[in-house]
Amino acid sequence: MTSVEDLCTLISGQITWGRGQSPQQLTPDTMLLEMGLLDSLAIMQIVTALNSQAGIVLPDTEIVAANFRSPAALWKLIESLPAGATQ
């Protein structure tokens, strides 16, 4: 996980695309919540995938809407985490 584009790919893989809904290309500014792309399961799957695929541990206190509104917002959080948070 070295860039916001990598993060977009990871998020895209966790979205359950609805029937008749074609998987869209996520950009850093895609409004994930406003567009209704993330449900509670997808959010927890992203948290899990960040840990298992990139060794990034999000503290519970950071799993809030403000950090998941777009890939860019989540990337900003990841970059701000103290070095010890990644393994």
> CB–CB of 56/85 below 8 Å?
yes
Could you tell me the two tokens for 20?
């008749």
Binding letters toward another protein, positions 19-58, x by CB under 8 A = xxx-----------xx-x-xxxx-xxx-xx---x------
Tell me which stretch binds another protein (CB under 8 A): 1-9, 12-20, 22-30, 77-85. Answer: 12-20
What is the widest separation between alpha-carbon atoms in the chain? 42
Exposed / middle / buried, residue 39 (Cβ in 10 Å: 0-12, 13-18, 19+): exposed
Q: Residues in the site for another protein, rule: CB under 8 A?
A: 13-14, 16, 18-21, 33-34, 36, 38-41, 43-45, 47-48, 52, 60-61, 63-65, 68-69
